[in-house]
Amino acid sequence: MDRPPIWRIFELDILGTTVLAALASTGAQGGYYAITTWLPTFLRNDRQITVISSAGYLAFLIAGSFAGYLVGAWLADRIGRRPLFLVFSAGAIAVVLAYTQLNIPNGVMLVLGFPLGFFASGYFSGMGPFLTELFPTAMRGSGQGFCYNFGRGIGALFPTLVGYLSGVMSLASAIAVFAVVAYAVLFGAAFALPETRGRMLDSI
């Protein structure tokens, strides 16, 4: 099989898939970075939780993330890739808003760290299979590699933008703004892309 050049993924017949997959990856990684990068600072400055005490909060977040990865991998095959992204991005929006915008006791925040980690990162288990299955065999490596790393590059800017925005509003609100925008982008892009569960890779 002839190997097409990398710019093949930008030709009109596949460009829509490339753009939407890159947006999905941007939303997935941007939301994750916006939350995890600033969470320790949020706990210390906005909630007045000491560095030592914050370890328990982060432990709940990490435990939730681990559970999210396992459940996300199972759901990706059970209900499909798109439903996984739709459910987890909507769940992440709801939990992020509750975590950053509601005046809840620290004990509740401790427990809420588990679903925050669960929804804010569990969808990554479906990202690899989804990007792999979206592109035809001849351009699969180029398509998957470009879309994932485009999302990683743009998503890596989100923590910096959160920092800038926190100069004109609270850090909690800045985190919420960028996390909600990111997960909304993931939701919209996933909704527009086709379901790929069960797709035979050697047939496309």
Query: pLDDT per residue over 141-160, tens digit each?
Result: 999 999 999 999 999 999 99
Residue 192 maps to a domain: yes
Per-residue confidence (pLDDT) for residue 2, from 0 to 100: 66
Tokens of 49: 């939780």
| Structural domains of the chain, count | 1
How many whole angstroms separate alpha carbon 6 and alpha carbon 46? 46
In a domain, 10, yes or no: no
How many CA atoms lie less than 13 Å away from 95 in the CB half-sphere? 26
pLDDT for position 107: 86
Tokens of 145: 């590699």
Q: How many CB atoms lie within 10 A of CB 111?
A: 14
Q: Is residue 84 part of a domain?
A: yes
Does residue 1 lie within any of the structural domains?
no
- Residue-by-residue pLDDT tens, the chain, 204 positions: 567 888 899 999 999 999 999 999 999 999 999 999 999 899 888 888 876 678 888 999 999 999 999 999 999 999 999 999 999 999 999 999 999 999 888 888 889 999 999 999 999 999 999 999 999 988 999 999 999 999 999 999 999 999 999 999 999 999 999 999 999 999 999 999 999 887 766 654
Q: Which domain holds residue 174?
A: 20-199
Q: Is residue 2 part of a domain?
A: no
Write down the pLDDT at residue 75. Answer: 96
> 72: domain CATH number?
1.20.1250.20
CA distance 3 to 138: 6
Within-domain flag for 11: no
| 14 part of a folded domain | no
Q: Is residue 8 part of a domain?
A: no
Q: Contact, 104 vs 98, CB < 8 A?
A: yes
φ and ψ at residue 62, rounded to 5 degrees: -65, -40
pLDDT score recorded for residue 129:
92
Phi/psi of residue 167, nearest 5 degrees: -75, -20
